[in-house]
Structure 1
Amino acid sequence: MPPKKVEEKSPLLLGRLGTNLKVGILGIPNVGKSTFFNVLTKSEAAAENVPFCTIDPNEARVPVSDTRWDWLCEHYKPASKVPAFLSVVDIAGLVKGASEGQGLGNAFLSHVSACDALFHLCRAFDDDDVTHVEGDVNPIRDLEIISNELFAKDLQHLESPLEKVKTLFTRANDKTKKLEYDTLLRVKEDLEAKKPLRLDTWNEKEIEILNKFLFLTAKPIVYLVNLSEGDYIRKKNKWLAKIKAWIDENDPGAVLIPFSGAFENKLIDMPDDERQKYLKENNCTSNLDKIVHTGYKALQLEYFFTAGADEVKAWTIQKGTVAPKAAGRIHTDFEKGFIMAEIMKVADLMELGDEAKVKAGGKYRQQGKTYVVQDGDVILFKFNAGAGLTAAKKK
């Protein structure tokens, strides 16, 4: 008797499941969030020198630049070209006491909760024309304010479910609740010790429990430091080393990226030739592409390519996705009737020049249901076209 088929599963990740994920721009008021959102997304969200200029969150999609995708488009010259996109949300500024309702805090924290990763933007530029809600520029204090509000909100969010599961486990003697009770107790210990949940180590069963609550401190954070144009060009600022030290102590391993909203705003209005001349004269580059790529990775997303004369497209998947699930991104029938994936690495294709040479070089491979798709794979899926119809008839 043949062994029973076991469905291949992708590893469980901390956070919301799926590919429709978004990164929110977080910070106190007047640090340059809306200006950053505008230059990043080429949009025109209100950006004014007043607290709470943004009330309802603005959202936009930003194409993820990739030289590999550019090469595929040039090589195949397709009728349709579709890159990967990063969804970005401009969240209104948080103030001290937001978790207690200050400054429309509860509404704004719900906007944070709806995001899956965060760009924590702090201000390190002096400008008398741009007011600071705390009276002066001090990014370390601002980092502490936001961090404390996230911890406080998570503790509030934890209170009711912890009490409920405690009652079921200790009073109703429901032993099935032991793991959830133990996990939530550990969450409480972490939060009270000011340890973000993303820094702890969790097994798959614990992650499954945590993902029911989507705690704010479980979300990955990328730290962005908004510099003056002059400091960005000089690559010097009195706060950078202090901010790096704060991150190393409070969120070790997190990425820190300096940028300048004023610098990027100037570039966006320049003709291309003038922009290139300005960058060359000042020996600097824009950091926007780096920020987009880092945000995409923070969401634990990657993409594979389908490529041909009709279309070159980057398909977003979560890291660790097996081939049938990746096929399902194109069409559910591809997943139901999955036979195999024919795969070549985009680096091999770029090096050798065309598919025939990739095949001749033994680098064109057939993979089955257990294959974990890698970022940048160029894939042709083979599937049984009748499988979807058969599955539908069984329902």
Structure 2
Amino acid sequence: MPPKKQQQTEVRVQWGRPGNNLKTGIVGMPNVGKSTFFRAITKSVLGNPANYPYATIEPEEAKVAVPDDRFNWLCETYKPKSKIPAFLTVFDIAGLTKGASTGAGLGNAFLSHVRAVDAIYQVVRAFDDAEIVHVEGDVDPIRDLTIIRDELLIKDAEFVEKHLEGLRKITSRGANTLEMKAKKEEQAIVERVYEFLTVTKQPIRKGEWSNREVELINTLYLLTAKPVIYLVNMSERDFVRQKNKYLPKIKAWIDEYSPGDAFIPMSVSFEERLTAMNEDEIAEECKRLQTKSMLPKIIITGYTALNLINYFTCGEDEVRSWTIRKGTKAPQAAGVIHTDFEKAFICGEIMHYQDLVDHKTENACRAAGKYMTKGKEYLMESGDIAHWKAGRR
């Protein structure tokens, strides 16, 4: 009997915009520590960490280097003249208040800024401080989480409803063409999306969707389709001792309403204090308090939530980390460096980071058969070290 054909696993369509230039926005109620966190994570003086609502109006933008021990090792090994790590783009967005979906506060502007990013760092206030006002009058993380969830759901439902009305006007004409058939298929998917938002009342990213449905949902740029990383902002004292009265309730809320999403306790005031120190002072202070900065974990989690990975190009002149999406093929990865590399792609000479660590040198990797030629169908892996070959155009 002929051998059975191996069943190929269907590649899941990823949420969000295509491409590698993806952005993360810092979201939360007013006065929860967003702008101070933005300054700490970007090591900049951008943002406006003032003690009143809507201190931030227009979003600030900065790039954050992604921590990567592999990149550091490659720089030590090649000793290049130039070192360029991978970066994550972060936006500081104005605070959201109850009623934002109907335009309250900076509602419409806020929601358009959230729509423009690809993932969300949601800062949740879990510290009491009478000197820092709360727009709702008191500190209640569960109420704040619920307000933001509801406002994003309401806005998504309104947007989808309008889109659905437009589709129904088109499909009601009754023409039996291929274009009309496609519109009716789109309408059926959008109706399911609307029902999920208004009946199930869960973020779109938590539904079970087919590849075709995800492809269509991606064109709607829905707020609740974006991955969320919850950052619980505690006082420095609570962070150091890892005890906070709000933490169990916040964890329970996330497990119920946003299961599977990342949840990172941290202290903005502690991170802000560390920014005034040099590396040796930071290490000494963290050792004294028996704790560590959470910023590296937060950055890496944000990068991973966007399905981003990185590969390297290495040499005496430069070691550089290039950001691509998971599932990127070799020609498109080469195109991140220059579009001509993709258009005139011949092949890639690729070795993996761990193989270089194990064999010490590129020549040793070649001798061991670990430096391989890869063609157009090769799917890049995180940690690949690539040398591209392209023809003339």
TM bracket (short chain): over 0.9
Conservation of the 8 A alpha-carbon contact between 1:300 and 1:318? yes
| Superposition map of 1:1-395 within 5 A | 12-44=13-45, 45-173=47-175, 174-192=180-198, 193-384=200-391, 386=392, 389=393
Post-superposition offset of 1:104: 1.7
What amino acid is the match of 1:254?
D
Q: SS where residue 330 of structure 1 aligns?
A: coil
Post-superposition offset of 1:382: 1.7
Task: List per-residue Cα deviations over 1:63-98 (Å, max 9, x = no partner).
Answer: 111110011111111111111000000000000000
Conservation of the 8 A alpha-carbon contact between 1:123 and 1:227? yes
Greater shift in the superposed pair: 303-312 or 336-345 = 336-345
Q: Which TM-score applies when normalising by structure 1?
A: 0.93
Conservation of the 8 A alpha-carbon contact between 2:88 and 2:303? yes
Conservation of the 8 A alpha-carbon contact between 1:22 and 1:87? yes
Q: SS where residue 102 of structure 1 aligns?
A: coil
Post-superposition offset of 1:171: 4.1
In structure 2, distance between residues paired with 1:303 and 1:337: 22
In structure 2, distance between residues paired with 1:271 and 1:87: 24
In structure 2, distance between residues paired with 1:167 and 1:252: 37
Task: List per-residue Cα deviations over 1:132-175 (Å, max 9, x = no partner).
Answer: 11111111110000000000110111122101112222443432
In structure 2, distance between residues paired with 1:295 and 1:199: 18
In structure 2, distance between residues paired with 1:108 and 1:299: 21
Conservation of the 8 A alpha-carbon contact between 1:27 and 1:33? yes
In structure 1, distance between residues paired with 2:353 and 2:364: 13
In structure 2, distance between residues paired with 1:122 and 1:179: 39
Task: List per-residue Cα deviations over 1:270-292 (Å, max 9, x = no partner).
Answer: 24333222111111000000000
- Could you say which residue in structure 1 is the equivalent of 2:8? none
In structure 1, distance between residues paired with 2:305 and 2:278: 32
What amino acid is the match of 1:289?
P
What amino acid is the match of 2:183?
K
What amino acid is the match of 2:337?
I
What amino acid is the match of 2:171?
F
Greater shift in the superposed pair: 267-276 or 73-82 = 267-276
In structure 1, distance between residues paired with 2:369 and 2:244: 51
In structure 1, distance between residues paired with 2:331 and 2:269: 45
Conservation of the 8 A alpha-carbon contact between 1:303 and 1:317? yes
Post-superposition offset of 1:11: 6.5
In structure 1, distance between residues paired with 2:309 and 2:281: 34
Q: SS where residue 37 of structure 1 aligns?
A: helix
In structure 2, distance between residues paired with 1:270 and 1:179: 58
In structure 2, distance between residues paired with 1:199 and 1:351: 41
Greater shift in the superposed pair: 143-152 or 188-197 = 188-197
What amino acid is the match of 1:23?
T
In structure 2, distance between residues paired with 1:275 and 1:120: 26
Q: SS where residue 326 of structure 1 aligns?
A: helix
In structure 2, distance between residues paired with 1:209 and 1:272: 47
Percent identity at matched positions?
Answer: 53
Q: SS where residue 244 of structure 1 aligns?
A: helix
Conservation of the 8 A alpha-carbon contact between 2:94 and 2:106? no
In structure 1, distance between residues paired with 2:208 and 2:347: 35
Post-superposition offset of 1:54: 0.3
What amino acid is the match of 1:62?
V
In structure 2, distance between residues paired with 1:203 and 1:381: 35
Greater shift in the superposed pair: 79-88 or 332-341 = 332-341
Gaps of 5+ in 1: 1-9, 390-395
**Runs of 4+ residues over 4 Å off in structure 1:** none
Conservation of the 8 A alpha-carbon contact between 1:339 and 1:368? yes
Post-superposition offset of 1:208: 2.4
Task: List per-residue Cα deviations over 1:118-137 (Å, max 9, x = no partner).
Answer: 00110001111111111111
Tell me the C-alpha RMSD between the 2 structures. 1.3
Post-superposition offset of 1:340: 1.5
Greater shift in the superposed pair: 152-161 or 203-212 = 203-212
In structure 2, distance between residues paired with 1:217 and 1:207: 13
What amino acid is the match of 1:344?
M
In structure 1, distance between residues paired with 2:282 and 2:312: 31
- Could you say which residue in structure 2 is the equivalent of 1:5? none
Post-superposition offset of 1:258: 0.8
In structure 2, distance between residues paired with 1:315 and 1:275: 29
Post-superposition offset of 1:301: 1.2
Conservation of the 8 A alpha-carbon contact between 1:11 and 1:320? no
